[in-house]
Amino acid sequence: MTVLKNETFGLMKALLDAHTMGIHAAAALLKECGYRVIVAPTQIEEALEKISADSSQRLILKWLKENQINHIGISYRLDVNDAINIVGKLVHILKQNGDYESAGATIKSVYFAGLAAACNAIDKEYKGRIRTFRGGESAEETLLIMGIPYEEIPQKILSGCQYDKELLTFGKTIIEENSYKEMKPLNRNKYLEYGTFRDSLSARLEHNFMNGFQPLIRAHSGPYSAELKREQCLKEYKEWCRILADTGYLDILSIGTSQLSQSNFGENWEEKVNGGGVPINSEQEFKDIWDIARPMLVRTYSGTKNVKLMAQIYEKNINIAWHALSLWWFDELDGRGSNSLYKNLKEHINTIQYIATTNKPVEANVSHHFAFRGCDDITYIISAYLAAKMIKKCGIKVFILQNMLNTPRSTWGIQDLAKSRALLSLVKGLEDDKFKVVLQTRAGLDFFKPDLERAKVQLAAVTAMMDDIEPNNIYSPEIIHVVSYSEALFLATPDILNDSIKITRTSLNEYRRLKKEGMTPETITDEINERTNVLKNATIKIIEAMERSIPNLYSPEGLYIAFVAGWMPVPELWSDSDEFVHAKCWETKQVNGGRWLTDHELILSIDSRINRCISYIPDAEYILKNKY
């Protein structure tokens, strides 16, 4: 059905479902096309969740009528059966009231965004009358599915998405040709320390591979089954490690340890819920995994308590390739740990100071966690810069700059390039003869579609984008964190992980070959340069204001105040604590393919942003003094 210009969209989700980014991205796109969009308030979210109640049904019908809504979008990414029930109940009451699929009906179309299984069931039940979104749709795809006429889509959206479309075309060719399946492991330069307990990331990068530089490949691996005993889970994982080591495609194994491995290592787990991940609970178990995984370098998550002790255990037992610290995260903010924010910062900085004595690199696992909580693109860059500068001050010599692309997944590729280049330029500006920055890129956590063949195409496409961050630098990126194409559906087995690496390496080699022949998209353009400079200049201005306004910024106290005073906005933070009210009291929305802070729908000026944050500093200082 084609949507008319004078018609209104109403976008809804259940209160329990915290996945709001998709709704706001769709709303922003529709508004850019000139359509009226109403996002359901909390009262309606609660009614949708309790749609079986007559009172909830009346409330929803009243909201639809008062706002003159013609097209309804429902998002529900939790339980599949609940999703099907919510859609079924809503359609039933709309039909019963004469508002849908009847003569003179005011509701002309219904859309649903959710898990693949729920979408499949709804497709079957309604035979395509309700259009579904499984995730990963481009801006153009989203609008066309929602019935927006192609001619109503602004040229800036069409041109802004052109780069993404070209990369997907490239990716499709890679997968259809199928040559990636024949790729053999690289011929490694096996230097003296290779695969021993004296091996290191720096040595692996320096010697790299014969026949020219190739990025090191890191992948995350960690199966878990609630049905199996802990010992059986460990046995299965060791077999996975053996397969990965023997096949030789993976350079760096990242052990996906369980929640209890991070929070309750060495304790009795009998009464505790473990959650996903490898249930490692002794130093010997780490030693065994390292030995089986050779010659791969090995690393794992940091602890969420006793962080320094866990770092020491990793050094002793797996010769950890590098440590990853989350600073503001994996604590009370996200429910991943028991530390308060301030205690977490103190413990992490103390741990980084210890790591400096080991001469190991450190990765700041921070920027994408801000993005998961709805931050703007500038905050993404600020958080990484603050972490890098603080880590340098602690004496670390090598900094791993992790850059998660496609986060949020609605970000346009040209904006991702601009964000990546601004980030890399600023952090590399910290380099000197005692501090080196190593770029590690990866696809977004929820980037891939829940369709294996389409996800393979996306993996090939995002690999090409990684090469375009520094298009003229054959040594960039130094590390690629490969996210397997099965990510949206299930954990990758060793076979799928190796296939994902083959796709990544084949795509990189082919894209570089085409680039030499001038057959890839031009990415040194005025538009991308302008986007980069806007992000870079704004970040510099805010950082300078922070350094002037917050005493000893690069300390636990300074970084705590920076967060609590709202210098790094996280409008979708789940915590209801008054402590973080200034961190949450912001609005963001997608504009022109990027994420920006807004005030009454308009992009907030940098000066206004700075002034607001400065005004919040006394509140943050008061909380720090009186709570800690």
C-beta of residue 297 within 8 angstroms of C-beta of residue 252: yes
The pLDDT, as a whole number, for residue 202 is 96
- Span 254-306, pLDDT tens digits: 999 998 999 999 999 988 877 789 999 999 999 999 999 999 999 999 999 99
How far is the C-alpha of 589 from the C-alpha of 603, rounded, in Å?
Answer: 9
pLDDT single digits (tens) 228-258: 889 999 999 999 999 999 999 999 999 999 9
DSSP 562: H
What is the tens place of the pLDDT at every residue in 585-595?
999 988 999 99
**pLDDT tens-digit series, residues 50-60:** 999 999 999 99
Give the predicted TM-score (pTM) of the model: 0.91
Find out whether 402 and 438 touch, Cβ atoms under 8 Å: no
Q: Are 411 and 372 in contact (CB under 8 A)?
A: no
pLDDT in tens, 111-121: 999 888 999 99
Q: Residue 336: which pLDDT band, with cuts at 50, 70 and 90?
A: confident
pLDDT of residue 426: 98
DSSP class of residue 420 equals H
Q: What is the pLDDT confidence band of residue 172, given thresholds at 50, 70 and 90?
A: very high
φ/ψ of residue 605, rounded to 5: -70, 155
pLDDT > 90 in the chain, percent: 82
How many angstroms separate the CA atoms of 20 and 429, rounded?
35
Exposure of 551 in the CB half-sphere (CA atoms within 13 A): 3
The percentage of the chain sitting over the pLDDT mark of 70, rounded to a whole number, equals 99
**What tokens does 362 get?**
């450190």
- Given pLDDT bands bounded at 50, 70 and 90, which one contains residue 160? confident
* Helix or strand holding residue 11 (H, E): strand 8-13
| Residue 173 pLDDT class (50, 70, 90 cuts) | very high
Compute φ and ψ for 153, nearest 5 degrees: -80, 120
d(CA 191, CA 287): 23
Q: What is the pLDDT of residue 19?
A: 62
Q: Please count the other Cβ atoms lying within 10 Å of the Cβ belonging to residue 527.
A: 15
Residue 57's pLDDT is what? 94
Q: What are phi and psi of 602, to 5 degrees?
A: -100, 145
CA 259 vs CA 239, 310, 484, 574: distances in Å: 21, 13, 21, 19
Residue 612 predicted with pLDDT over 70: yes
| Count, residues in the chain | 628
- Would you say 469 and 509 are in contact if contact means Cβ atoms under 8 Å apart? no
Pairing of β 479-482 and β 436-442: parallel
In which region does residue 447 sit, left (phi positive, over 0), alpha (psi from -120 to 50) or beta (all else)? alpha
pLDDT at 20: 67
Q: Cβ-count burial of 271 within 10 angstroms (0-12 exposed, 13-18 middle, 19+ buried)?
A: exposed
Q: CA 231 → CA 186, 237, 277, 285, distances in Å? A: 34, 10, 13, 10
Instruction: Report the C-alpha dihedral over residues 321, 211, 443, 532, rounded to 10 degrees.
Output: 100
Helix (H, G, I), strand (E, B) or coil at 261: helix
Mean of the per-residue pLDDT values of the chain:
94
pLDDT for the residue numbered 18: 62
Which residues 6+ apart lie within 8 Å of 443 measured at CB?
404, 405, 406, 458, 459, 462, 483
Please tell me the distance from the alpha carbon of residue 57 to that of residue 113, in angstroms, as a whole number.
21
User: Locate tokens 């375009």: which residue?
Assistant: 468
State CA 219 to chain mean position distance.
15
pLDDT value, residue 209:
81
Task: Write the single-letter amino acid at 368.
Answer: H
532 vs 378: CA distance, rounded Å: 11
With tokens 């909390």, the residue in question is 42
Please, which residues have CB within 8 angstroms of residue 300's CB and are 6 or more apart in sequence? Answer: 254, 255, 256, 257, 286, 314, 318, 320
What phi, psi does 325 have (nearest 5°)?
-115, 140
Summarize pLDDT for 385-418 with one digit per residue, the tens: 999 999 999 999 999 999 999 999 889 999 999 9
For the segment 488-540, what is each residue's pLDDT rounded down to a tens digit? Answer: 888 999 999 999 999 999 999 999 999 999 999 999 999 999 999 999 999 99
Phi-psi region of 620 (alpha: psi -120 to 50; beta: other; left: phi over 0): alpha
Assess whether pLDDT exceeds 80 at residue 16.
Answer: no
pLDDT score of 14: 85
Cα separation, 187 vs 177, whole angstroms: 24
Residue 549 three-state SS: helix
**Tokens found for residue 315:** 């050094």
- For residues 599 and 608, the answer to whether their CB atoms sit within 8 Å is yes
CA end-to-end span of the chain = 58
Helix (H) / strand (E) element for 480: namely: strand 479-482
Whether the upstream peptide bond of residue 295 has omega within 30° of 0, thus cis, is yes
Peptide bond into 279 cis (omega under 30): no
Q: Rounded mean pLDDT of 341-369?
A: 98
- Reported as a pLDDT band with limits 50, 70 and 90, residue 134 is confident
* pLDDT at position 470 over 90: yes
The pLDDT score that the predictor gives to residue 94 is: 94
Q: What is the pLDDT of residues 91-107, one digit of tens each?
A: 999 999 999 999 889 99
Is the model's pLDDT at 148 over the cut of 80? yes
* pLDDT confidence of residue 17: 67
